[in-house]
């Protein structure tokens, strides 16, 4: 790993350092090829990589799929379609930054939505109680993951592989694997679908849910960069022992990270009811993997301690642009999947190439 040296531009504090590095590097510029210059620029600004891929892919699909792709409406529709994966990718990034991984994150969301939905629609509990109950379920599930990771010292992959199955079983048990119909929600607890409400801005149609997702991303981004807690998240992911030696209570920090991720999944549960229309225990079965895909394409290192939370948002959007563009171009579903696979490897490949830059 290259990111253990103190001057590494990979760490979040690096933007200032890397600007200095650029200034020094100007001496050698005539000797560099264009490719090396690009590599050097992106090395200093790793968060730009997913943004550039996103912009390139939007324009590429404008050529491939035509004008129907490049309308304000379709681009905003992509935003609607990635909203749920975006929420999960946000939670997933927090955990991956600590060098963990959460395979159970989508199951937590579905469990929270089933609990809130069943309480509100079937059992007639007021929504003001049912929805917080969903948040609570999400948070508790996250804390359970965190508790097992920190107290039993099991690898997060194994822990969440286990809890994924446990939460999923609880979903099926509690819901009887029955969806709660959209029309019944409208009749009894319409506030559950609040985040599915749409606003039209000059032909672009956004849901309240997409706004909330962007807000949550910006909020977490702010917290990660401007609070001690956020700094500690990066520190623990970068080098847990060093973080411990510098006085961070790593167990308590990890527990809080898993709890926050669970809470985000609980909020995503509310948004997902608006998105899907019904409370659906069978939806989002492999959204955990989709969230990891978004995080990885967004340039966050699976080894922890490196990456920007906003990368995950762009990662989710890139996947959304690809799948929308390929569908509108009429590409067979098999090859849509093939293309997403190539995209993952390409994105991580670019990331590795950038890290090999000779500073």
| Binding positions for another protein, rule: CB under 8 A | 68-69, 74, 77, 80-81, 84, 152-154, 158, 165, 172, 176-179, 181-183, 198, 205, 272, 275-278, 280-285, 324, 327-328, 330, 332-334, 337
Report the distance separating Cα 294 and Cα 291, nearest Å. Answer: 5
- Residue with smaller CB distance to another protein, 153 or 356: 153
Least Cβ distance, residue 92 to another protein (angstroms): 18
Report the distance separating Cα 215 and Cα 259, nearest Å. Answer: 19
- Residue with smaller CB distance to another protein, 177 or 226: 177
Say if residues 326 and 336 touch (Cβ distance below 8 Å).
Answer: yes
- Residue with smaller CB distance to another protein, 53 or 180: 180
- Residue with smaller CB distance to another protein, 206 or 234: 206
Least Cβ distance, residue 353 to another protein (angstroms): 32
Tokens of 359: 């500073």
- Residue with smaller CB distance to another protein, 25 or 77: 77
- Residue with smaller CB distance to another protein, 37 or 198: 198
Strand partners, 198: 207
- Residue with smaller CB distance to another protein, 39 or 324: 324
Least Cβ distance, residue 357 to another protein (angstroms): 38
- Residue with smaller CB distance to another protein, 129 or 158: 158
Least Cβ distance, residue 282 to another protein (angstroms): 4
Question: In angstroms, how far is the first alpha carbon of the chain from the final one?
Answer: 15
Strand partners, 207: 198
Least Cβ distance, residue 278 to another protein (angstroms): 5
- Residue with smaller CB distance to another protein, 252 or 337: 337
Least Cβ distance, residue 319 to another protein (angstroms): 12
Least Cβ distance, residue 332 to another protein (angstroms): 7
Least Cβ distance, residue 72 to another protein (angstroms): 13
Least Cβ distance, residue 36 to another protein (angstroms): 40
């Amino acid at each position: 790993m290259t990111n253990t040296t103190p001057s590494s531009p990979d760490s979040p504090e690096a933007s200032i350092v890397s600007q200095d590095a650029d200034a020094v590097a100007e001496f050698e510029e005539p000797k560099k090829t264009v490719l090396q210059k690009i590599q050097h620029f992106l090395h200093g600004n790793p968060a730009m990589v997913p943004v550039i891929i996103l912009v390139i892919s939007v324009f590429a699909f404008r050529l491939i799929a035509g004008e129907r792709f490049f309308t304000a409406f379709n681009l905003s529709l992509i935003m609607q379609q990635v909203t749920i994966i975006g929420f999960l990718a946000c939670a997933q990034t927090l955990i991956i930054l600590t060098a963990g991984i959460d395979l159970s994150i989508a199951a937590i969301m579905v469990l929270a939505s089933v609990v809130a939905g069943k309480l509100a629609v079937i059992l007639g509990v007021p929504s003001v109680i049912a929805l917080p109950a969903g948040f609570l379920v999400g948070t508790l599930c996250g804390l359970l993951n965190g508790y097992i990771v920190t107290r039993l010292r099991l690898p997060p992959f194994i822990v969440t592989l286990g809890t994924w199955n446990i939460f999923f079983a609880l979903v099926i048990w509690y819901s009887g694997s029955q969806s709660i119909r959209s029309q019944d929600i409208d009749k009894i607890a319409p506030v559950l679908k609040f985040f599915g409400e749409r606003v039209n801005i000059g032909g672009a149609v956004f849901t309240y849910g997409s706004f909330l997702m962007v807000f949550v991303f910006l909020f977490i981004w702010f917290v990660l960069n401007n609070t001690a807690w956020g700094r500690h998240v990066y520190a623990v992911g970068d080098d847990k022992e060093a973080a411990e030696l510098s006085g961070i209570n790593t167990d308590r920090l990890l527990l809080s990270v898993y709890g926050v991720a669970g809470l985000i999944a609980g909020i995503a549960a509310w948004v997902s009811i608006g998105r899907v229309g019904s409370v659906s225990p069978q939806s989002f079965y492999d959204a955990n993997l989709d969230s990891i895909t978004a995080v990885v394409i967004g340039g966050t290192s699976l080894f922890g301690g490196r990456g920007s939370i906003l990368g995950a948002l762009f990662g989710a959007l890139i996947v959304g642009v690809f799948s929308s563009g390929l569908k509108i171009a009429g590409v067979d579903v098999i090859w849509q999947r093939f293309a997403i696979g190539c995209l993952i490897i390409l994105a991580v490949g670019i990331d590795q190439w950038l890290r090999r830059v000779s500073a």
